[in-house]
């Protein structure tokens, strides 16, 4: 059939989103943008899980996506507070400066 109405279109979008997030996480040096790219990759995986859940007619994957969102919320909270703490010490948001976190 046509590409737009089929489920694999959503799969391709999810794969491309994941790759874009990975490229962003490797390219950018701003710590906050890095966290945002990780959120983008999490969302790509969520989209793929929902697509497969729709295909198999099974709700378990959607529950899994719900738990992924919960963990992502907790992860963003703790990650951002770590960034705030490190910014107070280093006055920078460059990830190359964050190798001094041990002292």
Partner 1 sequence: MSLQIISIILGSLTLATALLVVLSKHPVRSVIYLVVTFFLITSMYIMMNAQFLAIVNMIVYAGAIMVLFLFVLMLLNLNKEIEPVNTRTAQFTALIAGGSLLLILITALKDTLILGESFRQKNEQIGLVKELGNLLFTKYVVAFEITSILFIAAMVGAILLAKREKQIIE
CA 86 to chain centre: 22
Q: How far is the CB of 90 from partner 1 (least distance, A)?
A: 11
Stated length of the chain: 103
Task: Extract the tokens encoding 25.
Answer: 């996480």
Any contact of residue 54 with partner 1 (CB under 8 A)?
A: yes
Any contact of residue 78 with partner 1 (CB under 8 A)?
A: yes
Any contact of residue 88 with partner 1 (CB under 8 A)?
A: yes
Any contact of residue 98 with partner 1 (CB under 8 A)?
A: no
Q: How far is the CB of 99 from partner 1 (least distance, A)?
A: 14
- The rounded distance, in Å, linking the Cα atoms of 81 and 76 is 8
- The rounded distance, in Å, linking the Cα atoms of 52 and 56 is 6
- The rounded distance, in Å, linking the Cα atoms of 88 and 65 is 34
Binding residue for partner 1, selected from 45, 87, 98, 101, defined by CB under 8 A: 87
- Residues 40 and 26 sit within 8 Å (Cβ to Cβ): no
Any contact of residue 18 with partner 1 (CB under 8 A)?
A: yes
- Chain positions 31 to 50 lying near partner 1, rule: CB under 8 A, are 32-33, 35-37, 39-40, 43, 46-47, 50
């Amino acid at each position: 059939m046509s590409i737009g109405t089929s489920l694999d279109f959503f799969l391709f979008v999810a794969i491309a989103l994941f790759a874009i997030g990975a490229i962003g996480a490797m390219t950018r040096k701003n710590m906050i943008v890095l966290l945002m790219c990780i959120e983008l990759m999490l969302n790509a995986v969520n989209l793929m899980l929902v697509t497969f859940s729709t295909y198999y007619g099974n709700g378990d994957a959607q529950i899994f996506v719900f738990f992924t969102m919960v963990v992502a919320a907790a992860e963003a909270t703790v990650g951002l507070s770590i960034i705030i703490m490190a910014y107070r010490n280093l006055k920078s948001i460059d990830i190359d400066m964050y190798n001094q976190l041990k002292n």
